[in-house]
Structure 1
Amino acid sequence: MNLFSTFDPSANWNTSLNWTSTLIGMIIIPSSFWLIPSRLSFIWIKITHTLHKEFKTLLGNKNKGSTLIFISLFSMIMFNNFMGLFPYIFTGTSHISMTLTLALPLWLTFILFGWTNNTIHMFAHLVPQGTPPVLMPFMVCIETISNIIRPGTLTIRLSANMIAGHLLMTLLGNTGSSMSSYMIGILLTVQILLLLLESAVAMIQSYVFAVLSTLYSSEVN
């Protein structure tokens, strides 16, 4: 067994059914069919309403309906991140194959839409305002490269953050069997603090992914 086998979908029971954890997050979504909405429903409605207002500000008045895509993206990533914090549940978002599947189609559609419908605007984006004529060729190269690596940065940021925290918790947890009772108490405290940190990271990373996707979308209009 190597250290990274924790993140291998076929590590347990020799099956690839661990990918079904990607859909387990659907259970947490509050139902809208209750006569009296629960507190969870109110919290979820408040979160989506706040995100809608923020994304609408980033997108401008032209794309009011587009916020639904990014709120759905935020919800899916956040549920998957949280599911990965439970024992024996596979974290789908720690794999590049999943995060790249989310980032690449989004980026590709934004780029194709921008270059097809707003070609002049996209060319103007390659040279920032106020750039000296001497630096213009360099700025075009830099902006082109930064546009091309965007799906890669979105992908690696999310998967690396998920792997890093879980790997640290696994490493600390594996040392528990060889510790004294006093050290185990300290280890449990550290693990609980790490779990709280990972819960915050799960929310922050899903928010960052959605906001950056929104910003990339707003640039092509």
Structure 2
Amino acid sequence: MNSKTITREELCGLFDHTNLKAYAQEEDFKKLCDEAAANHFAMVAINSAPVALCHKLLKGSGVHVGAAISFPLGQTTVNTKAFEAEQAIQDGADEIDYVIHIGQLKQKNTAYIKEEMETMVRLCRSHQVICKVIFENCYLTKEEIKTAAEIAREVRPDFIKTSTGFGTSGALYEDVLLMKKTVGDLVKVKAAGGIRDWETCSRMIDAGAERIGTSSGLLILEQFDRARQQRG
């Protein structure tokens, strides 16, 4: 996909409309879902507790409900992640975004990361739910990012994802390039964290991102529309 030729409809279809704030309340989720449905966004990205509410609010809209699992640290066991994901799916989640055990990757325990990924992918597949794997790149070296992507290339989740948005930095253009180069067409890449304007969003798309996690989707759309009008 190319940011210079992307249509407004295609851009809306990339957005995971996000509210992962600890203090989010029912009225915030209603607003999030209304905005996502009105603009035909791909998904609302939320923590697991409000999944049932958002599932009800979005019924019939075509917008998916995505649950963030072991968020944002990833420091829970594989069984705990699977339990949380299973509960979210039962509540109506169409997509699961889970955070890897970052410490285990940094300890070079690739067997753990692979087993964790296989468990989560297998669970999601059994329910016909999309599985996204969050690396949290700000804590990883380029070699560690590549290693995690190589595992994903073998296990084949639906997406690998740059960031939670709660780390020390978010998505980086060069990280998206590296992730996409490593997995090729076998796995998609989601860029998330710090994507608050069309310029940044367009760079992520051109690097190979096929989903964009952002709480600034409406602002990005405004900027996209303005940029297209200026081009004539």
TM-score with structure 1 length normalisation? 0.24
Larger Rg: 1
Higher helix share: 1
Higher strand share: 2
TM-score with structure 2 length normalisation? 0.23
